[in-house]
């Protein structure tokens, strides 16, 4: 049952925010009456990670939006999991569709990042999802299973991993997969994990939905048996993010 898996809501701020706007977000999160049974993690721009961690209620996790596959070296512009740990950050989002499709990250690179982050004690929100042309060609399962396979081979401890299914065609477009479409893919992913990892992992791992989640649709999505929470983009910058966090109250 979904109820055995702790509901999880992530807020990906992407390349948004300044200290003034972040203070406002921190205020509504700290004072928002969040459901204590929901795990909440927010992902600010890397330059604000220590700032946010220092101001946010300790019950709310803070994630990097990305990190690299090695500890240190001549990798201009990158940050490592060791640097995250040094700043009190214990989560990273890896494989986000924008990293895949804007910055050209391969399944292989994402898997290497997942493996290294986990080895350094960073927990991972690992993202998968198909583009519109792939969905229309009937390739949704083919694409998400291929992406999940690469991640699976990088993971030894699934208790440190949350999967996020984000149909790329429903991110920032205002289009949303219907709750039934979301449930269908989540159920397929859980079966994939049963068949290719273990029944225990399939039962325990949380699979988030990430594609234009709003206060209007979050309750119905949260009611689906294989939807264990959300990875939210732009809506996580606004006070009604608290409604999304409390979707399963």
CA distance linking residue 213 with residue 216, whole number of Å: 8
**Which residue has 């149909």 as its token pair?**
167
Pairing of strands 229-232, 7-12: parallel
Known catalytic membership, residue 78 = no
Closest of 166, 195, 33 to residue 93, by C-alpha: 166
Q: Are 231 and 20 in contact (CB under 8 A)?
A: no
Q: Are 61 and 91 in contact (CB under 8 A)?
A: yes
Question: Any idea what DSSP says for residue 6?
Answer: P
CA distance linking residue 237 with residue 106, whole number of Å: 29
Q: Which of 39, 105, 130, 166 is catalytic?
A: 166
Q: Are 84 and 122 in contact (CB under 8 A)?
A: yes
* CA angle 31–124–194, rounded 5-degree value: 115
For residue 191, the surrounding DSSP H or E stretch is: helix 179-196
Known catalytic membership, residue 96 = yes
Q: Which of 96, 98, 116, 186 is catalytic?
A: 96
- Residues acting as catalytic residues: 96, 166
């Amino acid at each position: 049952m979904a109820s055995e898996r702790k509901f999880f809501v992530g807020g990906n701020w992407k390349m948004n925010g300044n200290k003034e706007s972040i203070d406002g977000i921190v205020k509504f999160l700290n004072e928002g009456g969040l459901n204590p049974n929901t795990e909440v993690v927010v992902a600010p721009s890397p330059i604000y990670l220590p700032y946010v961690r220092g101001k946010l209620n300790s019950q709310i996790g803070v994630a990097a939006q990305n990190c690299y596959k090695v500890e240190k070296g001549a990798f201009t512009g990158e940050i490592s999991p060791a640097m995250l740990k040094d700043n009190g950050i214990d989560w990273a989002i890896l494989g986000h569709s924008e990293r895949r499709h804007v910055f050209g990250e391969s399944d292989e690179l994402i898997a290497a990042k997942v493996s290294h982050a986990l080895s350094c004690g960073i927990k991972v929100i690992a993202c998968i999802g198909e583009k519109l042309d792939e969905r229309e060609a009937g390739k949704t399962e083919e694409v998400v299973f291929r992406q999940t396979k690469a991640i699976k081979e990088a993971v030894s401890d699934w208790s440190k991993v949350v999967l996020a299914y984000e149909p790329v065609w429903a991110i920032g477009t205002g289009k949303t997969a219907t709750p039934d479409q979301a449930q269908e893919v989540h159920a397929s992913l859980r079966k994939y994990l049963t068949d290719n990892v273990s029944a225990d992992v399939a039962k325990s791992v949380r699979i988030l939905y990430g594609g234009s989640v709003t206060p209007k649709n979050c309750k119905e999505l949260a009611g689906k048996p294989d939807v264990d929470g959300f990875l939210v983009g732009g809506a996580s910058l606004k006070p009604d993010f608290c409604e999304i966090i409390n979707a399963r109250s």
